[in-house]
Structure formats: C-alpha cells, structure tokens
Amino acid sequence: MPATSTSASVHATTDPAVILLTGERFFVRRIPIAADSPAAPQVELALETISPFPLEQMFHGHVIDRAQRHALVYSAYRRNFSAAEQADWANAESVLPDFLMHVFVPRGSQATDATLHETDAALTAIAWDSESELPALILHRPVSNENREQSKAELLAELTRRTQVDLEDHSIVSGPITAKLNEKQSVLLSCEEHTTPPLSTAFLAHADVRDGQVLATKRRANRSASLWCNTFTLVIVALVLCLVVELGMIVTSKLLDSRQGRLDERNPEIEKIESAQNLANRLETLAAEQLRPFEMLAAINAPRPQSVEFLRVSTRGPLQLEIDAQTANANDLRTYEAALKSLPFIASVTISDSRSRSGLTTFSLEVTFKPRWTQTGGGS
Amino acid sequence: MKRFFIQRSKREQVLILLFALIGLAWWGTSLSARANDQYRGWRAAHEEFKTQELWLEQREAILERVVSAGETLDPSRALDSAQSFAELDRMLSGLNAEVSSQRTERTQQFALHGLQVNIRRAPLSDILKFYGQLSERAPYLGIDSCVISTDRSSRGMLNVNFRIYSIEVISSEE
C-alpha cells in the first residue's frame, strides 16, 4: 500500500490558552443533519442515541460542514479526564480534541482520501468521502513500538471496512499537533507543514468540549474583559486625540498671533480712515445745518406762559433741545405743549418726568425742530 | 498597549482606567475651554479683518467726501488749534470763562479741533454777545453742543458749557 509521507519534525509550542485533548479518548461519528433545523438539538439527540454513556456524563462537541448537511460529533467520558487535567480548562480560550486539525486543514485537489497520523503513543486514521468536507470516520489506536506496524495495518483495514474508502493512496503525518493563538485571538492548529486557517473563538464555540454553562461563564468573562479593554483603548485614543488637538492649538495659536499682529499693524491706517469719515460727516452736517441754540431757545420762548421757567437747556444734535423746566401752574404745561406743537417749524414736542411738589410742577421737555427750520419762520 | 492592559490584574486595570479617565476629563475640559477661546479669537480676528477690509475699500471714497465737503471753505478764514484758542480767549474777555482744548480729528487736507468753553455766572446779554461773535466766524468756528443752566446762587445769572469746533484747512506746503 503506497503512501505519501511528510517527515519533518515540528517543535512548535502549544499556547496555554488552547488546550488540545488527545483523540483516542473520543468517540467520533459523522452524522447527517437537516439543514433547515437548528443543528445543536439534532446533534444532542444523535449523541444520546449513539453514545455509550448518558450525555450529562460526557464532554462533547461538534463541527458542521459548509452545506449544513453533516455534523462531525465527538464525545468523551468525563471520568477519562482527571480533575488535575481539567484544572486549567476554565482559563483556556478553547478546549478541543487534537484531531480537529485534520478537519480544518484545507484539502487541496491532490489530497488523498485518507491520512494516517502517527505519534509516539497513538495512531489516528482519518477517511474522507465525497459526501462532505468533514471526515467520514476518524479512528484512534494507542500504540507502542512493538506493535506499531501491526496496529497500523489493523487500523487501516478497519477504516477501509467501515468507510469503503479506497486507501490505495494515503498520506502519513507524524508528530504532535500544536495550537497557538494569533494576535486576533484566533486559534491556529498545526502539525508539520499542515496548518489550519485562523479559527475564531466564536467559530469554535460548538467545537469546544466544555459544558455550555462553563462556556457561557467564560463568554461573560470575555465580554467583561473585552469591555474593559475597549474602554481603555477608547480612553487612550481620546488622550491621543487631546494631544493632537493640543499640538494643533499650539500651531493655530502662533498663526492667530501672527494674524493679530498684521491686524494691529493696519490699525493706525484704519483709525485715520475712520477719523476722515467722521470729519466728512461733520463737515457735511455743518454745511447742511448748524446748531443755533439761542435762536432755538428764542423760538420756543415766544409762546412760553409766564409761569413756566427754564432751569436747564441742553442741545442734542443740531435740531433738538432738552429742557428741564418748572411751573407754578400745572395747567400751563399742557397749554405750552399745545402752543409749541402749533409752531410750523417744530417737528415734535414730548413732555416727560412731570412731578408736582408744594404747588410747583417740574418737567422735562424735548423739542425737535424741522430741518432748515430757520427758513420756515423760526429763528427770526 | 492593549497587551500591557490585559496582562494587569483586575485591580490594576481599574486603577489605570480610573486615572486615565480623570486625566482625560481634566485635560479634555481645559482643552475644550481653550479651544473655544481660540475659536472665538479666530472669529474676532476674522471679523476685524473683514471690517478693516471694508474701511480700506472705502478709503478713497471717504477722502473724496472730505475734500468735497471742504471745497466751500476759505483757507484764509480757517483757524488752527492755537488760533482758535486765542480767538475764543479774545471773545470771552470780561467773562468768567475757562477754555480747554480737546481731541483733534485730522486728514491730509483738514483738521477739526475740539474745544470746551465753560462760562460761569454770566448775564444773558454777555453770553449773547459772545454767541454773536462766535456766529460771525461760522462755519470755521461753531458750536457742537451746549448746556445752559440758571445759576442757583445768583438769580438772573447763567452757567453755559459750550463744546466748540474749529476747522483748519491744511495747506499742501505743510
């Protein structure tokens, strides 16, 4: 029986985050499943049927093929694993049977239908058929140097008998299977030059043999750790962002100073223009209308009742007078207002702040003259 | 960094995160306030720049307006600051008055001098006499504003505060 063999020995270390269990303790079967129903209940039902022990006494897992028509199920009796052996399981990312390497390693077009994997202590024979990319059968035999050749022959014979797979060509792999986690926390299984693609923890969720409760606890812990880690990452990113903004502000502050300097340089020139603008306004106002306070005062004095006395007169612009006045006769206030309003050169009259005390009424008078009022009868 | 964090114990992780959050809050608050100030500084500088640009764009038009407004003025009758001061001093002789000069607005062709005249306890006739003399010099010497009030201590007397301007025509030889 010819065989292709790879003999390079590999000494890769196994990552403690992934625990590989030797395959000879597992009972392995490929079962057909219905693609339109959830796989997990179908797998559990099948395991309960074919497993030699009740399901609660087993560690078990499964892998589904791409067409979701077959599942490779495997289970092992719990007592086959000592408490010491299980001590690290809680902290591990994944606990997997080692033969899964053969399941996940991509098979090229030249791949043989069977592989014999030899280690110092065991032989594993794997057979594939055309129904699925999952192996049709995986068989294990413990082996010693004395009975190695005989065991090998018996194992291959049994594989042929049970699968009807033609074992004319089969490949031989030797050495231990190792596992490691890459930087994205994906599992890589390898033996010699055969390496699986990165397998994410989520992808391997059903392949893990630990109890669902343990896995759920583990997932919660992972989520919590991930949350902490992501929060820390966010804070660091925010701090880096602050640093970038701080540096940006140093640069923009220098630019702002420079711009402010340029504006300050131009300020004297702008002040000159503003001054010229004021001067132009003043000259234009003076040309149009000059303030004539005493003429204005004389104009509003004419209709003034005898009782009204001016205390203070101030100008506001060329056309307005503000007068603080008093009268002993409050009625004269309205009479005076009416008289002022009747003058043709008066635009408006406003009396405000009237107060009466001890028979004397004080008030404020605001009189606005019409533009060019002197030409309309005033100021003569 | 992430590996460093993962490898720490839970207690250390909590402390690291706590200090990092405190630092972030402290820095972030200060940075946000300073960034806001700087943003407002930029806005103000931008607005000032736009205003300056507007003034510069209007420069020629404003100067033309000044020249145009002053075209009717006779340079020989205009008064500079010292002349206006002396002229007012002459007009106010005999009055209890005080004259002080104020700010001057100036262009290449004209200057507008501001003067403050305060007259205390003067009869109306004297004030009208001063006002008459002042009006004769218009528009080269004129009143910007005035406040007339009766003197409480002396009946019939007035206190008057004038803000007076004088126009100076600056000759091209200067």
pLDDT tens digits along A179-193: 888 878 888 898 888
Are B17 and A235 inside 8 Å of each other by CB? yes
Query: Distance (Å) from the C-alpha of residue A253 to the closest C-alpha of chain B?
Result: 7
Residue A174: the pLDDT is 86
d(CA A234, CA B114): 66
Phi, psi of A118 (to 5 degrees): -110, 135
Residue A164 CA to residue A332 CA, distance in Å, equals: 132
Please compute, for residue A372, the number of CA atoms within 13 A of its CA located in the half-sphere on the CB side. Answer: 4
Nearest CA in chain B to A248: B35
Which of the four pLDDT bands, split at 50, 70 and 90, describes residue B46? Answer: very high
Find where tokens 């009055």 sit: B95
Using the beta-carbon criterion (under 8 Å), do A313 and B131 form an inter-chain contact?
Answer: no
Three-state SS letters, chain A: CCEEEECCCCCCCCCCCEEEECHHHCEEEEEECCCCCCHHHHHHHHHHHHCCCCHHHEEEEEEECCCCCEEEEEEEEHHHCCHHHHCCHHHCCEEEECCHHHHHCCCCCCCCCEEEEECCCEEEEEECCCCCCCCCEEEEEECCCCCHHHHHHHHHHHHHHHHCCCCCCEEEEECCCEEEECCCCCEEEEECCEECCCECCCCCCCCCCCCHHHHHHHHHHHHHHHHHHHHHHHHHHHHHHHHHHHHHHHHHHHHHHHHHHHHHHHHHHHHHHHHHHHHHHHHHHHHHCCCCHHHHHHHHHCCCCCCEEEEEEEECCCCEEEEEEEECCHHHHHHHHHHHHHCCCEEEEEEEEEEEECCEEEEEEEEEECCCHHHHCCCC
Cβ of A157 under 8 Å from any chain B Cβ? no
pLDDT confidence bin for B171, thresholds 50/70/90:
low
Residue B174 has pLDDT above 50, yes or no: no
The dihedral built from the CA positions of residue A22, A26, A30 and A34, taken in this order, carries a sign that is negative
Of A137 and A203, more confident:
A137
- Is B149 near chain A, with CB under 8 Å? yes
Q: Which residue of A has its CA nearest to B16?
A: A232
The yes/no answer to whether this complex scores an ipTM above 0.85 is no
Query: What's the pLDDT tens digit per position in A14-53?
Result: 667 889 898 888 989 999 999 888 888 898 888 888 887 8
Reported as a single tens digit per residue, the pLDDT across A331-364 is: 888 899 999 999 999 999 999 988 988 889 999 9
Averaged pLDDT score across all residues of chain A: 86
**B125 in reach of chain A (CB within 8 A):** no
Q: Name the residue facing B62 among A273, A282, A316 (closest C-beta).
A: A273
Q: Which among A266, A284, A316 has the least Cβ separation from residue B52?
A: A266
A256, A278, A284 ranked by CB distance to B45: nearest: A256
Query: Is B19 an interface residue toward A (CB < 8 Å)?
Result: no
- Burial letters for A330-347: b for 16+ Cβ neighbours within 10 Å, e otherwise? eebbeebbebbeebebbe
* A231 at B interface, C-beta within 8 A: yes
**Higher pLDDT among residues A248 and A94, named by residue:** A248
* Number of other CB atoms surrounding residue B32 within 10 Å: 12
pLDDT of residue A265: 94
Q: Does A294 touch chain B (CB under 8 A)?
A: yes
Chain B, nearest residue to A258 by Cα? B45
* Host H or E run for residue B106: strand B97-106
Position A13 scores a pLDDT of 46
Q: CA distances (Å), A143 to each of A140, A191, A241, in order?
A: 9, 19, 61
Q: What is the DSSP letter of B75?
A: T
Q: Please give the pLDDT value at position A377.
A: 61
B34 pLDDT above the threshold of 60: yes
Min mean pLDDT across A54-58, A121-125, A371-375, B168-172 is at B168-172
A254 touches chain B (CB under 8 A): no
B140 interfacial to chain A (CB closer than 8 Å): no
Cα separation of B159 and A92, whole Å? 102
B-chain residues near A267 (CB < 8 A)? 52
Q: Cβ distance A201 to A94 under 8 Å?
A: yes
- Alpha carbons A172 and A125: distance in angstroms, whole number: 9
**Coil, strand or helix at B98:** strand
Mean pLDDT of A116-132: 88
Whether B116 shows a pLDDT value over 90: the answer reads yes
Q: Are A187 and A179 in contact (CB under 8 A)?
A: yes
Reply yes or no on whether the pLDDT at A169 is more than 80. no
* A 39-78 residues inside an 8 A Cβ radius of B: none
pLDDT confidence bin for B172, thresholds 50/70/90: low
